[in-house]
Amino acid sequence: MAACGRHAPSYPVPPQFESSLGLDPGELRPAVQMDDADADRYIVRDISPEPLALRWAFLHPELRLQVENAEHLKFYMEFVVPDVTFRETGPVVVSCSINGKLLGSVRCPHPGRYRFEKPVPPGLVKERVPVTVSANAEPRYVAKADKAQLSFLLAGAGFIQ
Amino acid sequence: MQEILHILEGALFTVAVCAAAGKLILARLRLEFHRLEAMLVAFVAGAACTSFATFFLCVTHQARKGFFLWPGLLLIIWALRAPALRRSAVPWKPIPRAWKLLFLVVFTSFFIIYFLNALAPEISPDGSGYHLGNVARFWKFHGFAWDYHNMYSYLSQGMEMLFLIAFSFGKHSSAALVHFAFQTTLPLLIVCYGLRFGYPRVGVFAAVLIYAAPVIGLDGSSAYNDLTVATVIFAVFYLLQVWDEERNPNLLILIGLLSGFAFAVKYTAVLTLPFAAGYVLWRLKKDSLRPLVMVTAPALLLIFPWLLRNWIWLGNPAAPFLNSWFPNPYYHPGMEQIYLQNLKYYGVQHGWEIPVQLAVRGGLVGGFLGPVFLLAPLALLALRQSQGRRLLLAAAIFAIPAAMNSGSRFLIPALPFLALSMGLACANSSGVLAVLAIFHAYLCWPAHAAWYCDDWAWRISSVPVQAALRKVPETEFIENHQTDYKLKTLIEHTVPPDGKIFSFAGRPEAYFDRTIVTSYESTLGNRANDALLTPVSDPAPTHRTRFRFLPLRTRRVRVVETASASPFWTVTEMRVFSNGTQLPRESNWRLSAWPNGWEVQLAFDNNYATRWSTWQAMEPHMYIAVDFGSVKTIDAVLLEGVAESQAHLQVEVFAHGDWVPITDTAEESDVRAPSGLRRAATLELKQLGIDYLWVNDSDYASEDMKKYSNSWGITLLGESNGTRFYRID
């Protein structure tokens, strides 16, 4: 039992709430792996739809991502240049763009797994605004049967801090 | 059978204790009554004293069966051994034989229906909700639960004190039967009134009108308190008329006692004491304080305990009302305002629909009185007689609370006066009274009322003989009428005894041995409700109001409201900046606000699902302030929250012993809603000690919770008939 006067007393600062509580429905994460259950939500175009850990990237593979905090960001992309295409194309140069602006490229002189990682210039990515990331491989494998162009096998991509 | 015996034992014992206490009071006051009226007045007066005594048992946490049983038995024995009461010598005009027969037939027929409904398991909304919810809590804690905060637990609970005695023997139905006893008393008292004052046919007519009225039928056979209020108020009026004739000063003590009891039963009877005191002053026509004191002192004796309890417990003697006069952390003034506005709402399109709703349809006003009450304007003809004028004055005064609540049951206290006035108005028209009384009883018979009332009107629609005799299991009957009850087993197995469940809507808490926090019933409920609705509300807390000013050094800064407008002023977060960087919130800061300073921390917790709110309309001088504990250089203040165009704010700093306005120029902008609001909301509930959600499909956030339970961080534990029960992970 506590009687109270007309005015409340003053109070100290309460414990501060940790605001990064994950996503609201419909929101995008800053990174995606191709075997994520919701990976299809991140694909804009030219990435094969099979729910596998490695998916074929075709002519202009493009993803969309979103970050909570845009400070000190690095972009990464993990991919595989398979034997089957390397035999035809030889060394491949894979370049990555963010919102259409070239971020950088990596040369792949032999078949195998690669990781592209590079700091993102300030201002290129905005907080909580969807951002498109795209890749371009030169040269690409062209299938003889249907003329389909295969760039590489994509494992995942995203932003880290 | 054993169960029924316990139920009847509890009700009969409570009624017997009341009657015994009343007999001793009447004897002590040396009052003279006729046999029937003595019994009725004794019961009502004794109820006042029994309730008063139970209050103190609840305060001292001694509300135990033994404390009811043994003193109660002693009281009954004492009363039985006491000499018979003095008989009044005033002759009664006999009731004509045909009228006696009419009354006996109607009274007996409806009595059986009401009795069986009262005996059946309690399923009324308020009875199984807060009336018996409070009683079950008193029983659990053997008295008042001081750490339980709910607006319904702040109301005066004179009737609940009587329920508690009965409940301790036979649980819910026992309590309902105590209310049924008052329901039975009222028509008999009305008949007595007619007999005593020379209008036997009018008395019987009014008694039939009252007793057969469908809203009185169901209300009186449920664990409500309206029939008690009506009976006590009518008894006060009755005794005032007796006093007017006999001028026995001891009657004034009894009148005072009952006036106080009326308030103790229900706040809406607050006018009883002024009415009684005013009547006495008017009839005395002389300046003497003594009669006034004789009425007022016993009344205050019964009124003050409730006011004092609330004042000490909550800081508001009139809780849950007048919260803006007596601010407290337990109930928001704004919630009180919203609650009262909702009670007033009829939902009709035209004013003329109200009398039709009240008398015939009943669907929008929670029950109806019977079509004969459409003739109520005839009562004005009673103004020709002095008795009629008094009755109509009483009807007008005791109908006032009905203006604040659209429920037809709030008219019940005024109905005996109205019915008697109607009877007086038609008394000289031979046969009219009888025809109207028979017609009313016929139309109000439960099977016949269905012909004309709204399907969903609150009324007795069946005679649950099997359930009353417990041939249908109690659980089955309650489940069929209270679908929430189906979750009882799950909830009581899942939720720990001290666990809290949040619900947007009210629940039959009398049947759940767990604490249910309802959205509108407490500040805790308001806070949980606010947090849960923030993620799904439009607008979201995405608006920024930034005040920039030249750097200055100060120890205290505040933002002050300068506008008057009806919306509440709310602040989700308040941030202070220096040179473009937010000042880190330090442990030596002191936060304050007015009004509702108790919740100021919600604007400084970095949680966008919570907010500080004035919880009352915007007014100049409302503020939210920070004392840094030491002098700081600051150059901007940022308020985040829901945009409110009617607010006009200015930043002030404390300098040279006074608050100095700095700027009222704000930069307004909007940002995207922060992520994770759903989870932030449910974590806030956990912080408030609430680990479970009980959501109806019709609740605003229900669909979102169903669809995105992962984002909310909740797990569905069970569902039944459009309600879902979740655990907050």
- Tokens 């669907």 belong to B363
CB atoms near residue B668 (< 10 Å): 10
Instruction: Report in angstroms the alpha-carbon separations of B562 from A85, B84, B625, B639, B646.
Output: 72, 70, 15, 15, 10
> At residue A5, does pLDDT exceed 60?
no
Using a CB-CB distance cutoff of 8 angstroms, which residues of chain B are in contact with residue A12?
A: 587-591
Say whether B585 and A13 touch across the interface (CB within 8 A).
yes
Bridge partners (DSSP) of residue A118 are A75
B7's CB contacts (< 8 A; 6+ apart) are B119, B169, B170, B171, B173, B174, B177
Q: Is A122 helix (H, G, I), strand (E, B) or coil?
A: coil
Distance CA(A73)–CA(A13), nearest Å, equals 32
Tell which of A1, A6, A7, A17 to mutate to test the B interface (max B CBs under 10 Å): A17
- Which pair of tokens denotes residue B68? 């009811």
Say whether B683 and A9 touch across the interface (CB within 8 A).
no
Say whether B711 and A11 touch across the interface (CB within 8 A).
no
B694 with B516: CB under 8 angstroms? yes
B595 with B614: CB under 8 angstroms? yes
Shortest Cα distance, chain A CAs vs residue B151, angstroms? 16
Bridge partners (DSSP) of residue A153 are A56, A80
- Pairing status of strand B500-503 against strand B690-696: parallel
Distance CA(B391)–CA(B272), nearest Å, equals 14
Using a CB-CB distance cutoff of 8 angstroms, which residues of chain A are in contact with residue B608?
A: 19
B320 prior amide bond cis, ω within 30: yes
B518 with B150: CB under 8 angstroms? yes
Shortest Cα distance, chain B CAs vs residue A35, angstroms? 20
Distance CA(B604)–CA(B586), nearest Å, equals 11
Distance CA(B551)–CA(A23), nearest Å, equals 38
Enter the DSSP assignment of B541. Answer: S
Say whether A19 and B606 touch across the interface (CB within 8 A).
yes
Bridge partners (DSSP) of residue B87 are B33
Using a CB-CB distance cutoff of 8 angstroms, which residues of chain B are in contact with residue A20?
A: 675-676
A24 with B678: CB under 8 angstroms? yes
Enter the DSSP assignment of B585. Answer: P
Q: Is B426 helix (H, G, I), strand (E, B) or coil?
A: helix
Nearest CA in chain B to A24: B676
B16 with B162: CB under 8 angstroms? no
Tally C-beta pairs within 8 A across A and B: 102
Enter the DSSP assignment of B713. Answer: T
B226 with B186: CB under 8 angstroms? no
The CA R_g of chain B, rounded to the nearest whole Å, is 29
Nearest CA in chain A to B590: A12
Out of A15, A17, A25, closest to residue B711 by CB: A25
pLDDT digits (tens, 9 = 90+) for A17-47: 876 666 676 778 899 999 887 788 899 999 9
Distance CA(B481)–CA(B467), nearest Å, equals 12
Out of A17, A23, A25, closest to residue B606 by CB: A17
Nearest CA in chain A to B672: A128
pLDDT digits (tens, 9 = 90+) for B48-92: 999 999 999 999 999 999 999 999 999 999 999 998 888 888 888
Say whether A19 and B674 touch across the interface (CB within 8 A).
yes
Using a CB-CB distance cutoff of 8 angstroms, which residues of chain B are in contact with residue A14?
A: 601, 604-605
B50 with B21: CB under 8 angstroms? yes
B711 with B678: CB under 8 angstroms? yes
B601 with A14: CB under 8 angstroms? yes
CA B26, distance to chain mean position in Å, is 31
Bridge partners (DSSP) of residue A106 are A94
The Cβ-side half-sphere exposure at B202, using a 13 Å CA radius, reads: 27
Distance CA(A109)–CA(B303), nearest Å, equals 93
- Output the CA angle B354-B355-B356, nearest 5 degrees: 90
Nearest CA in chain A to B680: A21
Say whether B708 and A25 touch across the interface (CB within 8 A).
yes
B61 with B210: CB under 8 angstroms? no
pLDDT digits (tens, 9 = 90+) for B365-404: 999 999 999 999 999 999 999 999 999 999 999 999 999 9
- Which pair of tokens denotes residue A152? 């590489």
Nearest CA in chain A to B312: A3
Using a CB-CB distance cutoff of 8 angstroms, which residues of chain B are in contact with residue A17?
A: 605-607, 680, 683
B594's CB contacts (< 8 A; 6+ apart) are A7, A8, B621, B622, B623
Distance CA(B501)–CA(B692), nearest Å, equals 5
Say whether B675 and A21 touch across the interface (CB within 8 A).
yes
The complex's ipTM? 0.85
Say whether B600 and A12 touch across the interface (CB within 8 A).
no
Tell which of B58, B308, B607 to mutate to test the A interface (max A CBs under 10 Å): B607
A155 with A34: CB under 8 angstroms? yes
Using a CB-CB distance cutoff of 8 angstroms, which residues of chain B are in contact with residue A6?
A: 326-327
Out of B590, B605, B675, closest to residue A24 by CB: B675
The packing angle between helices B249-265 and B272-284, to 10°, is 160
Out of A10, A21, A23, closest to residue B592 by CB: A10
Q: Which amino acid is at A82?
A: P
Write down the pLDDT at residue A147: 84
Tell which of A6, A11, A68, A71 to mutate to test the B interface (max B CBs under 10 Å): A11
pLDDT band at A4 (very low <50, low <70, confident <90, very high): very low
Enter the DSSP assignment of B75. Answer: H
* Nearest Cα to Cα of residue A86 among A106, A116, A112: A112
The list of chain B residues with pLDDT below 70 reads: 287, 430
* Nearest Cα to Cα of residue B9 among B68, B92, B93: B68
Distance CA(B355)–CA(B495), nearest Å, equals 46
Shortest Cα distance, chain A CAs vs residue B582, angstroms? 14
Write down the pLDDT at residue B88: 82
Q: Which amino acid is at B154?
A: Y
B263 with B156: CB under 8 angstroms? yes
Distance CA(A36)–CA(B180), nearest Å, equals 65
Long-range contacts of B487-494 (CB under 8 A, 24+ apart): B487/B694, B487/B718, B487/B720, B487/B723, B487/B725, B488/B512, B490/B717, B490/B718, B490/B725, B491/B692, B491/B694, B491/B725, B494/B692, B494/B717, B494/B725, B494/B727
HEC letters along A11-55 = ECCCCCCCCCCCCCCCCCCCEEECCCCCHHHHEEEEECCCCCCCE
Enter the DSSP assignment of A127. Answer: B
Write down the pLDDT at residue A23: 67
Out of B312, B585, B589, closest to residue A3 by CB: B312
Out of B326, B590, B707, closest to residue A12 by CB: B590
B interface with A, Cβ–Cβ < 8 A, is: 146, 311-315, 326-329, 535, 585-594, 596-598, 600-601, 604-608, 627, 672-680, 683, 707-708, 711
CA B90, distance to chain mean position in Å, is 40
A85 with A150: CB under 8 angstroms? yes
Torsional sign, CA B711, B717, B722, B728: negative
Q: Is B146 helix (H, G, I), strand (E, B) or coil?
A: coil
B201 with B95: CB under 8 angstroms? yes
Average pLDDT, chain A: 89
Q: Which amino acid is at B77?
A: I
B646 with B570: CB under 8 angstroms? no
Enter the DSSP assignment of B128. Answer: I
- Tokens 């003739």 belong to B375
Q: What is the largest CA-CA distance in chain A?
A: 86
Say whether A7 and B327 touch across the interface (CB within 8 A).
yes
HEC letters along B407-474 = CHHHHHHHHHHHHHHHHHHHCCCCCHHHHHHHHHHHHHCHHHHCCCCCCCCCCCCCCCHHHHCCCCCH
CB atoms near residue B440 (< 10 Å): 25
* Nearest Cα to Cα of residue A129 among A160, A161, A157, A98: A98
Can you give the pTM of this predicted structure? 0.87
A interface with B, Cβ–Cβ < 8 A, is: 1, 3-17, 19-25, 27, 68, 128
